Copies of this chain bind each other. A is one copy, B any other.
Amino acid sequence: YTRAEVARHRTPSERVWVTHGTEVFDVTDFVELHPGGADKILLAAGGALEPFWALYAVHNQPHVLELLRDYKVGELSPEDAAPPAGDTADPFAGDPPRHPALRVNSLKPFNAEPPPELLTQSFLTPNELFFTRNHLPVPAVEPGSYRLRVEVPGGRALSLSLAELRQRFPRHEVTATLQCAGNRRSEMSRVRPVKGLDWDIGAISTARWAGARLRDVLLAAGLGDKPGDGEWHVCFEGLDRDASGTSYGASIPLERALSAEAEVLLAYEMNGQELPRDHGFPVRVLVPGVVGARSVKWLRSVAVSPAESPSHWQQNDYKGFCPSVDWDCVDFGSAPAIQELPVQSAIPEPRPGAAVAAGELTVKGYAWSGGGREVIRVDVSLDGGRTWRAAELGPRGRGWAWALWELRAPGTGDTEGTGDIGDTVGPIWNPRGVLSNAWHRVPVTVTR
């Protein structure tokens, strides 16, 4: 079978197929028997089981595999892992296959978020369910001929193969959350329309990244002290290109790139595997604590410059404004490019409109802050902001990664989480719908 064939079996009426490794299973008859509930197993319908088993580790047991064997209907075709042959007129025809559980906000370019109820299931997000924010078609990179160009002032330059990047520089690991500037834009759009993809609360995910430190590579290229007066920048360009040949690009301040504490990586691994194509194979930038837009994927070049990246996305996008500024009057030159993001907190569970039984209510969320600032406490209100309780924070690394949190409490009404952030989203509205981080409110019905 092909993955496309498997993906057509997503409901009991079309039969429910899943894959594990190269095997294909028809689990339609098991759906109602699933101990975790039929709705949970249906999230995996049409795709691979592995990312869900990474979330719900209880499945990684011999008796589960044995049980699954009864439902086997065949094997995936060997060619399936290769990208589809595709229509050459469609620049997105070479995009990789994706997990069908992702909630797609735009297909071309591909932009998708994990289902919200999965966000707080595990501290690390499985690669297949990690939110994807592509600006252009996914480039097909042949790793053997890949070269990364590194330029520093004075005309010195390095050209590194993938093997050189891996072997010449110490491997450094960072557990870090990436968040799109437009995460939770849908709440801002409800105040007044904005331009941008309609992200719910899932444009945020966490992985364990590994790669070379950008700092080490810049020093190896011969960068010494600050090359001149004023603020300098490190500009990145990707291998992805639009119809005119323009690549995605972005930059960060040189000071951050050179700081050992900032841990900026040229990453080639994500959760112990090579980077998936959607996440920048073979090399991407990873800037912990900074808006995802600066962590350029499919990295082609790194250049130290006295100016920020001239790219559209650095100059005329990803900037915040006063709510009175609209598309008619916006002057992108008047605002700085977003780098570190503000504190954020949202509630994937319960879902808005959920009916929750009277008695014990479980509220789960994530909280994160830019710049490596640790989340100290998350307060939750069950009565529209009149009274508050502190949630329990789960284990976490240092401040680069989110804290998952949980509160068990009698269910009595609305649910809201807060950081040191605004009560309402209106006063932070902006035309691009970025930096949406007001209290996340989840209205639920309490049943008796």
In the complex, are the beta carbons of B422 and A388 less than 8 A apart?
no
A220 adjacent to chain B (CB < 8 Å): no
* Cα A132 to Cα B49 with chains together (Å): 63
A95 adjacent to chain B (CB < 8 Å): no
Stoichiometry, as copies per complex, reads 2
In the complex, are the beta carbons of B423 and A424 less than 8 A apart?
yes
Which B residues are CB-close (under 8 A) to A414?
Answer: none
Given contact pairs A335-B377, A379-B427, A427-B379, A388 touches B420 in the complex (Cβ within 8 A): no
Query: Which residues of A284-329 are within 8 A (CB) of B?
Result: 320-325
* Cα A335 to Cα B374 with chains together (Å): 13
The dominant DSSP class at the A interface is loop
In the complex, are the beta carbons of A387 and B422 less than 8 A apart?
no
In the complex, are the beta carbons of A335 and B420 less than 8 A apart?
no
Chain A residues touching B, range: 20 to 34
Which B residues are CB-close (under 8 A) to A381?
Answer: 427
Give min CB distance, A107 to chain B, whole Å.
33
Give min CB distance, A407 to chain B, whole Å.
11
A136 adjacent to chain B (CB < 8 Å): no
* Cα A29 to Cα B321 with chains together (Å): 51
Which B residues are CB-close (under 8 A) to A437?
Answer: 420
A428 adjacent to chain B (CB < 8 Å): yes
Which B residues are CB-close (under 8 A) to A324?
Answer: 387-390
A342 adjacent to chain B (CB < 8 Å): yes
* Cα A440 to Cα B9 with chains together (Å): 56
Q: Which of B335, B387, B427, B428 contacts A323 (CB 8 A)?
A: B387
Annotate A361-384 by CB proximity to B: 1 below 8 A, 0 otherwise.
000000000000000110101000
Interface pairs (21), CB distance under 8 Å? A320-B376, A321-B390, A322-B379, A322-B388, A322-B390, A324-B387, A324-B390, A325-B390, A335-B377, A336-B376, A342-B420, A379-B427, A381-B427, A385-B424, A385-B426, A385-B427, A386-B426, A420-B421, A420-B422, A421-B421, A421-B422
A-side interface residues toward B, CB under 8 Å? 320-325, 335-336, 342, 376-377, 379, 381, 385-390, 418, 420-424, 426-428, 435, 437
Having A322-B389, A324-B389, A418-B427, one finds 18 other A-B pairs with CB under 8 Å, namely A320-B376, A321-B390, A322-B379, A322-B390, A323-B379, A323-B387, A324-B387, A324-B388, A335-B376, A335-B377, A336-B376, A381-B427, A385-B427, A420-B421, A420-B435, A420-B437, A421-B422, A422-B422
